[in-house]
Structure 1
Amino acid sequence: MNKLVTGIAFLFTVVLLNAQQRTGNIVEYFGKEKINEINEGELIHVFKKGLALQVPGFGFNSSSFPEDPVYDHFLMNDDLLVSEGDVFSVDYLGNEMIWEKVEVDSASTFSDRSLRSSYVYLEYKSNKEQIVLFEASGHSLVTINGMPHEGDHYDFGYNLIPTKLKKGTNVFVLKVGRFPRVRARILKPYQAVQFTTRDLTMPDLLKDENKVYDGGIRLINASENWVKDLKVSATVQGKTETVQVLKLPPLSVYKIPVKIPGVDGTTDVDKEKVSLVLTDKKNNSVATQDIELNVKSKTKHHKKTFISKVDGSVQYYSVAPSTNSTDNQALFLSVHGASVEAVNQANAYKQKDWGNLIAPTNRRPFGFAWEDWGRLDALEVLEDATQIYSPDPQRIYLTGHSMGGHGTWYLGATYPDHFAAIAPCAGYPDLLAYRDSFKERMKDRIDPNDERFKRLFFEPTPTDVELMIARAGTPSRTLKLIRNYLHHGVYILHGEIDNVVPTFIARDMRSRLGKFHNDFTYYEYPDGTHWYGNHSVDWDPIFNFFKRRTIKKADDLKRIDFSTGSPGVSATSHYVTIHQQVTPFEVSNFTLEKSDSLVVTTDNVALISFDLKQLDGNVSKLVLDQQEFVLANNEKLYYGKDDQGKWNVVSKPSLEEKGPHRNGGFKDAFRNNVVFVYATKGSEKENQWYLNKARFDAETFWYKANGKVELIPDTEFSLSKYKDRNVVVYGNRDNNSAWKKLLGDAPIQVYNDKVVVDGRDLRGEQWGSYYITSRKDSDIASIGVVAATGEKGMKAIYENHYMVNGTTFPDVVIFDDTVLKYGTKGIKCTGFFGNDWSFKTGDFEWK
């Protein structure tokens, strides 16, 4: 998608947030004013004057490779200084884009509607080299003396960036985020290592259970050294739990897990102090921090925490527990809307007497629209809650509101056999189609004779490279998976006059389902807007609808119709699994009719299995695309296509090949307790850049995904120490010493001044690449590569839009430094490896 479509998506997001209702328990979640508190350092400087440059269409962009000529300018010229009145360029109407003076208001905030799609340039003259904390909010990104860092675009007031100022002029360039306001200042840290209470992830302490809890708090390392051999202890009511802290990278803020003792069951307080102490290897105190946690009963609404398998971080979900304490009840998974906290999502529901309701976070109140790591969060919460509450496996249900309504449509289509029924409320089914629908509605607001109309609504035909990039998003194209809704009942609830998620979207889904589905209910709440009180989600007819439906057992299923965009995202329906595709990341499908035979028709399936152990032994024959096979009961049987397209019985597929356990694309590298390994064997500039790039990605994963990523230099990596973990390698074969251990025989090799791809040499220092491949010493782990051939290529790889929802990345993308100016036009090669992870059997497009 080009920058204008996603720019419109940005405008819609603002409309959505402004429309969120503040009544009831679901409230907006932006603008936390913690920026005005100083707990971490002494105030040195508040930025009150700066320069602003408006670049229409380039401000917020969620495309995979957004055009960003401003940052291109500063990255490629890292000592660049600008002055008031300097002309940056001309816009699409031929008007000069000029750096103009801006000043803060009485709240020390650069705030004006003209700051939309803008960059703010700030200077600070330091009389010496010194380490400081750069604190800002309202920006999506910042470069500090040419090095990129994550922003605070939701305006949470979370960001603190330890950085070393040089003597003389230091330059900060901030990209304005979703709201046209930016604040920035510089602090002198109180000490080299200290806690910050910004962005805690903590549980409620439950007085009627005896357990140790997981929590997360951030540590600031305001030094240029690695900090190691630390422990953190938490004390509650005289009980203490201690855990080791991972090494802290230089100049970083790192979210660490802590263990928290439970409270005495006789306590009658509703708050309890937790004392945290950080100690070194000699048991000397390094830092202390007291926090207060809520004390609740497990029979009332409360928060739970767990350790994520994605990255080892602490995540939380909220619970509206059943008023009945028995096992084998129902379980309701409720997914929240944009800007809504999980705790408020659960609080919007009255407790039920026949099931427990759980509300995951999507890893953040905005998160990933329940895709990517938001999808994984929902699955992890469902797994954790299943272990705790032991629900009836036939009575699991899914619902959600707004962005959570989308999450309901998406998760319900992606994992259809997980749920007996789903209930999307005020939701849109397909994220990208929803953005396009908003674009169509914008047509009425722009004069067709205005030059902007053509720029917004008439796009060039996508190139083959752009189509390949888009294909990586097939698993998210919910409408392509629409027949998966046949697995369960569907209840659609929508306000009659909703203008945030317009009612015509719900009516369109009613029309689509009406053509093939025989078990759905549609209800428009009279005069209902986007939010009309808690019954926007806690609607009795939905739960009555749920109560009458169960997940059918395998033997009771006479027909299954299942589709997937990638086996790595969703592979299985009941007892049938699609292991491999013929064409990667196109829709794969099977339909199954069951009597005394299984009659199966497939499309775009290369390898499929049937777990007959789930059946009662009354099926004797398989007809697979008109080929007949005799079945042996109580076995799991695999069938693969040969080169002529004929099915054959095959052995269990090798885990060395692609399959549900690892299938790409590139985003899949950032899971499985991932570790970032950066280069140290290059020049001083290369080493500095790759450390900062890895740290920048870790910062971004923290901010957007509440994540915790272990970051290490290549010299500390070993295959045994990091066994079966995903690894993201920053650097190339010449400067990262872990490359040969992990990627010695990889199908793509990156050197200084050269990329070798399928026998082709791409020469020069301008090449950058992202790709994913299998980790040869592991049956489950993958390797992500963020590599460049030289300085220009290093700067071209700075954008980490692979951590943005709605972006799409195949297994491989190779590009040059023009990608910053011209987006996808700078891509040279992209595509997918074959099922054997080779280039030769893959599907690629070259420019």
Structure 2
Amino acid sequence: MSRSWLCKLLLSFLLFFFCDAVRYEPAMVPIDRRQENTSLALSSKWELLGPFQIGTREATWGADPLEYLGGFRQLQYDQNAQFRSSLPVNGTAKWSIIDATQTSSTATSANASLSVSYTNVDWDFLKIVYGWAAVQYQAWARGEITVTGYKTQSVILYTDAILEYWIDDAHYFGGDFYTYRKAPPVLHLTPGTHKIDLRLVRDVRAFGGILKPTIDVILDIQAASGTLELAKPGILISDVVGGKLASPIASITLRNSGKDDIQIVGIQPAEVRPPLSLQRLDPQVVLAQVPRVLTSCQTDNASPSKASNVVLVAGQTRPVAFNVSLPAYNISSVHYVITYKSINADNKISRLEVSQNLTEQSIYKPHKITYLHPGGMVSYAMLRPPAKNTSCPSGQRLLPVLLGLHGAGLEADNGIVAHALDPVPDLCSWVMFPTGVTPWSGDDWHNWGFTDVEAAVNSIPFWIEHVGWQGPGVDVNRWIVTGHSNGGQGSWYALTHRPDRIVAAAPLSGYASIQKYVPYELWQPMDPRRTAIVSGSLNSYRHEMLMDNAKGIPVLQQHGEIDDNVPAYNSRLLSQLLFQAGTSSSFYDVPRQNHWWDTVMTTPQLVDFYYKQTTNNDTIPRKLSEFNFVVGDPGDMGSKGGILVTHLEDPGQYGKVDVKGRVIKTSNVLSLELEPRLWQRETVIVDGQELELAESLSIYKADGSWEPGNDVSYRRGRQLGAMTAILRTRGPFIVRHQGNQTAHVALQVSRNLHQYFSADSVVVYEASWGDSTSGTGNVISVAIGEAPPSLRPDFPVQVGPAGVSVRDSRGRLHELNEGARLGAAFLRPLEDERLELVLWGSDELGLSLAARLAPMLTGVGQPDFVVLGESARWRGVEGAVALGFFDHEWAMTPSSVVH
């Protein structure tokens, strides 16, 4: 045997050894089936207590009558017990036993469906008096989760249509009210039985108002891997057009179902092998391989300058964005490997594989494009470029964008949405169907969802460059907007909040506002000042108050005459208000049609409207000689007639501007900016005061007198608005907390942000408050007792171990401790127009009261600051000992309430 032959044999052996040594551990740890008796089960019988009243979106504020008795979790089943309630016969609610409508149980999963209804309530009569608000109610149900076997089971729990629940002694708020199934909690259940208490809340927006008022919910437990896993199968990736991806970024959603924090080391194509000489991979080597993980501060469509690590704390779900390209021209799928390691264990690298089938589309057909939402995660829209045979007026080189906004519960890539305008294939426009980030459009096409619309539109020029488009260009500031149902409401929002971008609008079967859709009746009683503050928090979304903003814009309305989902009254009311505002509009009640029909987006009148308005050559923004407009929140509002309101005197009240020629009159307005193309070198008269605009196109009010120039305001831009302003983040949210006492709530906040907005967040533990506020994203601080320091030592709301102190608009200091269990939720400023939302409690109960106010569901009405007393658990808003708004200098407004 020659020496060279021996060397070859030895080399082959060593190569085999090293190849085996660098194999990664699989991420999906198989379930241990050696214990044949291991299983999961949910109760087939449930203890039920109810019904009790609840108002539209009131559950976020607490308002649970059983909390007056210590909470449902403190009560034991007693068939003879009676509880005061305003809904049932005799004014009493009782216990009952109900059977789950369906249950299933296996070694790795368990499922139970509940259908709750009450016959001891005269729902029909209540609806005659209170409308749909009367069929909203709440109840509680108790059951058990049973784990058999001999070891702790890691599971995820889906809570379809459930907002709040307790498992043993752990409280969960947020749930999965819209059945998204994006971010279920991770539970580590020991063998035995575990009590689960469900707060059941019937909401007309989610359950409907016509059929029998039942509450139908599903609990679904599934075994988890106990390590990193895919929270959603596949990859969010663009379609293929012309042999290449329409967009170069993609996203995967990951969940850490283990007990240790996990760091994502890198993401690379499955074909890329690690160096054979490394038994344990150097993270920097893996990160050097393409594609790269996008940096958290990356908010445009350019390639990132460097890769960054991503950490998922135990139980967290996060979307991870990365660069992507096709390895070959004609492939049907892509395959990637996520490499990761446990932060608290050794340096061993594990891997998780993910694949995604590709969809190839004609470049002229609606196809999926991806882009970065300003919140730092990947979103998508369906884009249809102008057709080859489009015949546009000569000289129209830059075409407008026709936006089609989908209804609640629909994805933009659903054929009903993406192909709704196929019957009009040759429009002189770019047709785009945004997703608004989620099937419910984030927040009804308002703050978060509308930001997604603007990001989608602004991604078109990048698409043009990326795919080498040779057709007509795009004018991203010329919009024709339409939409159905919730998308119709979104069309009203776009029309009233970006009037200087809107060429024309066609809202279809939409509602006027959340309050007009389902009235805010049956809330717990509260004094009128508190009512006014909650209502003022929603000023920006009352379209019936904003119709003046539509003047000069062609509007076509359409509504099914017999719509039993969104009453046609909504459109008829807005049609009347448009007329009174002097707006050119057309209204069509479509005979014998309900909420939806196949050609709802392409009726004859709509087709004519699309063709006419896509060739509309009006100059945008329009210069109007006479107009009015109304502002609910300057942070949400664009300009009208070239005038932008940048600050209100009292942000809890509407600001109004009346313009006649060069005469401007204002009400509750503190500062304005004027568009140079329309107002430069004009002399204007503002509230009777003559101003020369040659040097400055910004004016502000100081001591009752208007002056040219920018005001020196501490609060501006993205910081303006009520508590929902926290959603105007630029980059992932930073959720920071103090440790074990607050970790559970911080994780819930992160989970809710992803569940309801698909948002990304970084969860940071700080033993002592440090500098984790640095970065680009907004910050949410979760605290008990000791609060993080403020950038402004004189901030009007101070919290700490001694309680809460509030400085009112007159400078008087109010101490709100009195030994009470308090919770506080309030905004504070950070640098670069960033915000911090402080969620604070004097104890765990107080923190739970505050944390539920973090923006999640639309229509709740959270002002800038709220201090909740213990009675808020059952009294709701009336249990707030202080609430209200901050002005442009972060001082408390006179309209705020301090008890």
TM-score exceeds 0.5: yes
Task: Say whether the 8 Å CA contact 2:54–2:524 is kept in structure 1.
Answer: no
2:517 is matched by which residue type in structure 1?
Answer: Y
Deviation at 1:495, TM superposition (A): 2.1
Aligned to 1:668: 725
Deviation at 1:410, TM superposition (A): 1.9
Aligned to 1:766: 821
1:103 aligns with 2:156: no
Match of 2:696 among 636, 639, 658: 636
SS at match of 2:594: coil
2:857 is matched by which residue type in structure 1?
Answer: V
Matches within 5 A, 1:490-529: 490-529=555-594
Aligned to 1:16: none
TM-score, normalised relative to structure 1: 0.82
Match of 1:304 among 344, 350, 369: 369
Aligned to 1:442: none
- Per-residue CA deviation, residues 262-297 of structure 1 (Å, 9 max, x unaligned), is 364x42x6x423333334496833322223232333
Deviation at 1:227, TM superposition (A): 1.5
Task: Report the count of equivalent residues.
Answer: 765
Measure, in 1, the Cα distance between the counterparts of 2:240 and 2:880: 51
Match of 2:758 among 687, 695, 706: 706
Task: Say whether the 8 Å CA contact 1:63–1:801 is kept in structure 2.
Answer: no
- Per-residue CA deviation, residues 169-195 of structure 1 (Å, 9 max, x unaligned), is 422223346564334354443342222
SS at match of 1:111: strand
- Per-residue CA deviation, residues 566-603 of structure 1 (Å, 9 max, x unaligned), is 11111522532212112213111222233xxx221111
Measure, in 2, the Cα distance between the counterparts of 1:765 and 1:544: 64
Distance 1:640 1:209, change over 3 A: same
1:110 is matched by which residue type in structure 2?
Answer: S
Distance 1:472 1:82, change over 3 A: same
SS at match of 1:392: strand
Task: Say whether the 8 Å CA contact 1:752–1:788 is kept in structure 2.
Answer: no
- Per-residue CA deviation, residues 620-641 of structure 1 (Å, 9 max, x unaligned), is 4211111112331xx4333222
2:405 is matched by which residue type in structure 1?
Answer: V
SS at match of 1:690: helix
Measure, in 2, the Cα distance between the counterparts of 1:183 and 1:636: 60
Aligned to 2:398: 328
Distance 1:163 1:755, change over 3 A: same
Unpaired stretches in structure 2, ≥5 consecutive residues = 1-27, 33-37, 105-110, 119-136, 208-214, 274-288, 294-307, 391-395, 465-472, 808-812
Match of 1:382 among 430, 437, 457: 457
1:45 aligns with 2:40: yes
1:215 is matched by which residue type in structure 2?
Answer: A
1:773 is matched by which residue type in structure 2?
Answer: R
1:161 aligns with 2:185: yes
Aligned to 1:32: none
SS at match of 1:573: coil
TM-score, normalised relative to structure 2: 0.78
Aligned to 2:446: 371
Measure, in 2, the Cα distance between the counterparts of 1:470 and 1:427: 21
Deviation at 1:716, TM superposition (A): 9.0
Match of 1:829 among 882, 886, 898: 882
Match of 1:317 among 351, 364, 381: 381
1:585 aligns with 2:606: no
Measure, in 2, the Cα distance between the counterparts of 1:653 and 1:471: 25
2:178 is matched by which residue type in structure 1?
Answer: Y
Distance 1:313 1:475, change over 3 A: same
1:549 is matched by which residue type in structure 2?
Answer: N
Deviation at 1:787, TM superposition (A): 0.5
Distance 1:488 1:57, change over 3 A: farther
Aligned to 1:808: 861
The 10-residue stretch of structure 1 (46-55 or 782-791) with the greater mean CA deviation from structure 2: 46-55
Higher gyration radius (CA):
2
Aligned to 2:35: none
Aligned to 2:163: 140
Match of 1:247 among 307, 311, 314: 311
Deviation at 1:86, TM superposition (A): 7.8
2:874 is matched by which residue type in structure 1?
Answer: K
Deviation at 1:786, TM superposition (A): 0.5
1:195 aligns with 2:230: yes
Measure, in 2, the Cα distance between the counterparts of 1:791 and 1:237: 48
Deviation at 1:518, TM superposition (A): 4.7
Aligned to 1:793: 846
Unpaired stretches in structure 1, ≥5 consecutive residues = 1-37, 440-455, 681-686
SS at match of 2:176: coil
The 10-residue stretch of structure 1 (619-628 or 409-418) with the greater mean CA deviation from structure 2: 619-628
Aligned to 2:674: 610
Measure, in 2, the Cα distance between the counterparts of 1:533 and 1:741: 55
2:855 is matched by which residue type in structure 1?
Answer: Y
Measure, in 2, the Cα distance between the counterparts of 1:795 and 1:546: 51
Match of 2:57 among 53, 62, 66: 62
Measure, in 2, the Cα distance between the counterparts of 1:753 and 1:461: 28
Task: Say whether the 8 Å CA contact 1:399–1:408 is kept in structure 2.
Answer: yes
Measure, in 2, the Cα distance between the counterparts of 1:384 and 1:232: 24
Measure, in 1, the Cα distance between the counterparts of 2:800 and 2:523: 40
Distance 1:75 1:678, change over 3 A: farther
1:217 aligns with 2:252: yes
Aligned to 1:756: 805
- Per-residue CA deviation, residues 488-514 of structure 1 (Å, 9 max, x unaligned), is 110112223323223333333332222
1:622 aligns with 2:684: yes
1:665 is matched by which residue type in structure 2?
Answer: A
Measure, in 2, the Cα distance between the counterparts of 1:801 and 1:718: 22
SS at match of 1:417: helix
- Per-residue CA deviation, residues 348-389 of structure 1 (Å, 9 max, x unaligned), is 111334111111112221232212322222222232236546
Deviation at 1:467, TM superposition (A): 1.2
Deviation at 1:327, TM superposition (A): 5.7
